[in-house]
Structures are given as C-alpha cells and as structure tokens.
Amino acid sequence: MIEREPRAAPPGALRRAAPALLGYLAVRALGLLALMGWSGARGTSAYTLLTARWDALWYSRVAGNGYGYEVWLPNGDVHSDLAFFPLLPWLERGLAAVTPLSYADAGLVVALLSSLVAAWGIFAVADHVYERRAGGCAVLVWALLPVGIVQSMAYSESLFTALAAWSLYAVLTGRWVSAGLLALLAGLTRPVGLALVAAIWAAALTSFLHEPSSSQGAPSPARAPSPSGTSFGVPRSAAISPSARPSSHALSRAPHSGASRTRRALGMLFAPLGAAGYVLWVGFHTGLGPLGYLDVQAGWRNGFDGGWAFARFIAGKLTSFPAVLAGLALIVGVVLLLWLYVTCVRQRQPLALLVYAGVVTALALCASSYFGSKPRLLLPAFPLLFPLALALARLRTRPAALVVGAVAVASAAYGAFWLNGSGPP
C-alpha cells in the first residue's frame, strides 16, 4: 500500500476553517441564549446547569481533592469518583492554579475551548475526505444535534471529541506518532478511548498488510488504495456530487520507507497507553487487580451486556400509553443510527473512521448504563454525521441556510428544555 507523506498543516488551515467555526459558534451561542432564557423563566441558574450538576460536580471534586470520594446508596451501589478518567480534572486543576478561576469555571472554559477545537478537527477530517463545503456542513450538523448543549458543559465529551478528531486526521494524513499520542490523551479522558485505539490499530495493520514488498516495487498512484490504512480508495460518495469530491491534496502519495513503518509502529504503541495506564492504576489503587476498573463501573451499574438491558428498557416502554411513544422514538433513533453507519460504509469512508464510529456506537448502545445518557455518549461519533453533511452540502445556499436556521432554533429549545429537566446524568 502507498501512504500519504506526513506533512505540515497547509498554510491558512485555520482561515480555511474559519467560516465553519463561525457557524459553529453562532449555533452554540443560540443554544446558550435559549438555555439562559429558559432557566431565567424557571428560576434556575444556567451557569449551575453547565458547571455544577451531574458529572461536572464529580470532575471538579477530583480536580480539587484528588481521587477517593465515594457515595454509598441504600441499594448497596457504590458511586466512586474513580469511574471518571483524569485528563479533564488535571486540566481544571492546572487552569485554576494559574488563573482566578474556580475548578468549575475552569471546567467550563476547557469544555468551551475544546468544543471549538473539536469543531475544527471535524472540519479538517471532512474537508480532507471530501472538500471544504462538506467540512463546514459536518461542523454545523454536529453543532445542531439535539443534545449539542453538552458540548458547552463542563463535561469531557468536547475534550474527547477534539482529541479524537485530530487523532483521526493525523491517521488520514500519515502522522502516526501524532495520532498515537493524541489517542493516548483521549484514553485518559473517557473509556471510549478504546474506539480510537481500535481505529489506529485497524488502519495501521491494514497499511502493513497492503504494503508492497521491496521485490514488487511501489504500485502506481492511480491504483493505490487510499491512505489511513484502508483499501477502500477514494470515497464512493465523491461520485455523488461535486460537493463530495476529495480535494487535490487528498490524492498525493509517497512511497513507504523504514522510517514510515517505524512511525506506524510507534503510533500503535502509544495509542493504548493512556486508557491502559489509568485502568491498571485503578486496579492497583483499589487492590482489585488489573481489571478493578470494571468493578468500579459496576458500582455505577455500568457494564457491557450487548444491548440486552437497553432492549428490555425499550420493550418496557411499549406496554403502555403514552410511554409507547417514547419507545417508538427510541426504536426510530436506533434504526437511524444503524442506517447512518451503513450509509457511511456504502460511501466508503476511510477504515479508521468506520472502525472508530462503529466502536463508539456499539459501546453506547450495548452498555447497561443509564439509558438517558446514551445520546450524549454518541456525541463523539461524528463520522456518522458525514452522510447528513453531504446531503446538506448539496443544497443551494438559501435552502441550506433555512434548514440550518430552523434546526438550530429547534435544537436550542430542546437543549434548554432537556437541561432544565432530566438532562444528562
């Protein structure tokens, strides 16, 4: 296989992404304004909802006091702060140490900055695989998600998505060491960092397997598979419309070298170190052994059961009215997710994106955790949104603006209602 030569970011990369980032900021600003208005009408604090409820409290507590806090529930469950990975609390503590910000304030700042970096990373990936307009639309679709308000909370989703997006971009552009190091940091952010490890390993192993032997010589660029360790070649969606054609730099190739193989191996080595290191530390710290982290998660009733608990939860909704409406909505949502993934496969996204999105989706849907949290757990699975982004990119400017405006208003209203109600646990 022929892989793309590692190269520096093209001049004006931020300027190229600027319109998409401005659109992202506009959508998220609308969501925050809606939240403030809704909260004001209810007599609640939008700031508290963003920084001092649910997981945000646990992160700020770890930042201030370190690990060791537990809550014992009447049913015997034990909620331990060891369930929360350390990178976000570390950043909160570091920022609070050099500024007048509280840990909660620092968490909000980290989340807001991370969400912007994540939007830039999503643009970079979509722009690389398709082109600029598709990249901008991908950013907008991510911002417009009904649970997009989580991107502006002192949670770890935005930080993880930023690391994941740029790690995948590094894979797509042949920067294997950078990809591995970013995956290491992502693995210190959320357990779903395993999805990024799987993506890097799949791409790198496929790249090794398709690498021509020295006796065969390098294949011609015209017949070379696509970079990022996939044999899929140019995305099929490039033939759907001009808005889906890869940009010219996406077709550049460079021959393999020993240094390139070493970089790939290093990327594979670095990628799992963050998640593995924290899980092993938890096992040592608790005395529960190498997999002690699973016991910690069990105290929160989190586990992986293949989706059985989620299926039973949906089935339970179908037995009465009006709960049946929620059950049908959940079924439609799961079908939509599966359809989006199948569409991603049919459009021949690079292998790294398919593996990453597939593992994130599987972990979210097949976990036995609190079911209301599943929509936010899917936030990092941004490659699933690329088919929607391509559809939006095909529209003319005026219809596209009307669609984005209408969905932005609906999303902002739902986010304000949701966060003032059940909200993300």
pLDDT digits (tens, 9 = 90+) for 262-310: 999 999 999 999 999 999 999 999 998 988 999 999 888 888 888 888 8
Contact (Cβ atoms closer than 8 angstroms) between residue 227 and residue 4: yes
| Lowest mean per-residue pLDDT among 60-69, 138-147, 157-166, 228-237 | 228-237
Mean pLDDT (the chain, rounded): 87
Could you give the CA distance from residue 395 to residue 420 in angstroms, rounded to a whole number?
34
Q: In this predicted structure, what is the pLDDT of residue 224?
A: 36
Quick one: average pLDDT of 156-174?
Answer: 97
| Lowest mean per-residue pLDDT among 2-6, 255-259, 275-279, 296-300 | 2-6
Among all chains, which residue has been given the structure tokens 């369930």?
83
Could you give the CA distance from residue 285 to residue 283 in angstroms, rounded to a whole number?
6
Q: In this predicted structure, what is the pLDDT of residue 9?
A: 52
Quick one: average pLDDT of 62-68?
Answer: 95
Could you give the CA distance from residue 285 to residue 305 in angstroms, rounded to a whole number?
26
Quick one: average pLDDT of 118-141?
Answer: 97
CB atoms within 10 A of CB 136: 28
pLDDT at 105 over 90: yes
Quick one: average pLDDT of 95-111?
Answer: 97
Q: In this predicted structure, what is the pLDDT of residue 211?
A: 73
Could you give the CA distance from residue 206 to residue 351 in angstroms, rounded to a whole number?
9
Q: In this predicted structure, what is the pLDDT of residue 4?
A: 41
Transcribe 54-121 into DSSP letters: THHHHHHHHHHH-S--EEE-TTS-EEEGGGS-SHHHHHHHHHHHHSS--HHHHHHHHHHHHHHHHHHH
- Enter the pTM of the model: 0.88
pLDDT at 389 over 50: yes
3-state secondary structure of 146: coil
| Lowest mean per-residue pLDDT among 147-151, 222-226, 369-373 | 222-226
Quick one: average pLDDT of 64-91?
Answer: 93
Q: In this predicted structure, what is the pLDDT of residue 13?
A: 84
| Lowest mean per-residue pLDDT among 170-179, 251-260, 378-387 | 251-260
Contact (Cβ atoms closer than 8 angstroms) between residue 234 and residue 347: no
| Lowest mean per-residue pLDDT among 1-10, 338-347, 366-375 | 1-10
pLDDT at 241 over 80: no
| Lowest mean per-residue pLDDT among 249-258, 294-303, 365-374, 414-423 | 249-258
Quick one: average pLDDT of 60-68?
Answer: 95
Quick one: average pLDDT of 208-214?
Answer: 70
- Torsion, Cα 252 5 381 51, to 10 degrees, reads -130
Q: Which residue has the higher pLDDT, 74 or 6?
A: 74
| pLDDT (tens digit per residue) in 217-235 | 444 433 333 444 343 333 4
Q: How confident is the model at residue 313 (pLDDT cuts 50, 70, 90)?
A: confident
Q: How confident is the model at residue 212 (pLDDT cuts 50, 70, 90)?
A: low
pLDDT at 99 over 50: yes
3-state secondary structure of 254: strand
Q: In this predicted structure, what is the pLDDT of residue 308?
A: 86
